[in-house]
Amino acid sequence: MSNIHVIAHTHWDQEWYFTLQDSNILASWNFADVIRTLEQNPAYTCYHFDGQTAVVEDFLAVNPQYCERLKQLVADRRLFIGPWYTQTDTYNVHGESIIRNLKYGILSARKLGHAMMVGYLPDTFGHNSQLPTLLRGCNLDNIVFWRGINHDTQVEKSQFIWQAPSGAQVIACAMPFGYGAAKNIRADDAHLHDKIFPIVNHIRQRSGLDDLLLPCGGDQVNIDPHLPEILRIASVCSPEGDRFQISSLEAYIDRLRQQASGYDRWQGELKSPRYTRIHKTIGSVRYDIKKKNYDVEQFLLGKLEPTIALARYQGIEVNVQWVDQIWKNLLRNHAHDSIGGCNSDATNRDILHRLEQTEQLSHSLWNLVVKELATASCEEGDLFVINPQRHRLVGHYQSHII
């Protein structure tokens, strides 16, 4: 007999073979249904908005009438959002961008009542070896994922300790059937015995624990108001006497923490195609998107932010909310499908345009900050030189003045 933690959720790609505009229209209907269902049915104890907050911000921007109701559900731990701002890629973006993704996701979720502190990456196309360090740096001690594991050559069980080269460790939980294991679950006998119960038995064998994770959701799916009753019937019909219950990722991670002393250990990346595609070739497609993203990241991290720090040190007032907006614009392009470029042509045009707008904002803000710095620091005719590096520069440097 096992406790089956059923994770009711939707996996919400904001853009893919459809555009962001398509996604936002559908979200207006689906997310409103989620709020109403949770309010009307106490047996539906909780639901997950895919571990991100950008989708929630977009929903509230055109549906402000739901804001207070959503905040109440989030505060009551019945609707889980965050900790990511967008469902990031981990190979094609800067490591600092992954940190900022968590920063803005956690801050945004906390403003709405609570940030789910689970490193949930259900569809990311592999995970770089430094990720435990980045997660730990943002006070996350765990990751729940699907793609990239190989139980034949890495670790035998679905839960294990993942260690980064730095020595940082997180509890890792691989989902054997991905985030859609129990998608569209039904109460009829054939469906339960032919599909759901065999899936649970496979998860049981892979885990070896009495607490098992069963994701119940899928791409852009809406909430099923009948799920509590379906799970009651599944519990009654289970040949193993399993107890199916709607649970949360936070609750499941708590159970894993209590049993972590005997877990196997893995150090290295998670990018094996053993059980599911990791779309390795997306690293070489849509060079225009990859190059523009790199340019924006380098300018933002190497020029804009250091220059703003110098200006504020000199007492110059800078509206840093523009920096937040620039980062959020950039992070919207870092979702795994978006930065991968594995999208429709219309979506890729949107992504490239957003990156160009982000670049324009970054350069415009930098130009104004440099002007303010020069005005405060120089006399007429002086040559103003900025060192944006984190260390003192000593030596001879050549510059051309036109």
pLDDT value at residue 13: 97
Whether 391 has a pLDDT exceeding 90, the answer reads no
Summarised one tens digit per residue, pLDDT across range 1-19 is: 999 999 999 999 999 999 9
Average pLDDT over residues 363-383: 91
Average pLDDT over residues 348-356: 98
pLDDT value at residue 395: 83
**Where along the chain do its domains lie?**
3-267, 282-376
pLDDT value at residue 379: 85
Going by C-alpha positions, the residue among 60, 95, 67, 100 that lies closest to residue 84 is 100
Whether 400 has a pLDDT exceeding 80, the answer reads no
Query: Of 50, 58, 89, 123, which is the active-site residue?
Result: 123
Q: Verify cis geometry, omega within 30 degrees of 0, for the bond prior to 132.
A: no
**Mean pLDDT over all residues of the chain?**
97
pLDDT value at residue 388: 84
Question: Strand (E) positions, 217-365?
Answer: 243-246, 264-267
CATH code that applies to domain 282-376 = 1.20.1270.50
Q: 247 near 47, Cβ under 8 Å?
A: no
Summarised one tens digit per residue, pLDDT across range 243-290 is: 999 999 999 999 999 999 999 999 999 999 999 999 999 999 999 999
Distance in angstroms (rounded) separating the CA atoms of residues 112 and 63: 15
pLDDT value at residue 187: 97
Whether 296 has a pLDDT exceeding 90, the answer reads yes
Distance in angstroms (rounded) separating the CA atoms of residues 101 and 93: 11
Distance in angstroms (rounded) separating the CA atoms of residues 268 and 160: 13
Summarised one tens digit per residue, pLDDT across range 172-215 is: 999 999 999 999 999 999 999 999 999 999 999 999 999 999 99
- Label the pairing between strands 243-246 and 3-8: parallel
Summarised one tens digit per residue, pLDDT across range 117-149 is: 999 999 999 999 999 999 999 999 999 999 999
Q: 143 near 131, Cβ under 8 Å?
A: yes
Cross-strand pairs, 213: 5
Distance in angstroms (rounded) separating the CA atoms of residues 206 and 204: 5
Q: How far is CA 358 from CA 21, 84, 96, 334, 378, in A?
A: 19, 20, 17, 13, 30
Cross-strand pairs, 6: 214, 246
Helix ranges (H only) for 208-283 are 227-237, 249-258
CATH fold of 3-267 reads: 7-stranded beta/alpha barrel (3.20.110)
Q: Say whether 188 is catalytic.
A: no
Neighbours of 262 (CB within 10 A): 9
Is residue 170 within a helix (H) or strand (E), and if so which, with residue range? strand 169-174
pLDDT value at residue 392: 86
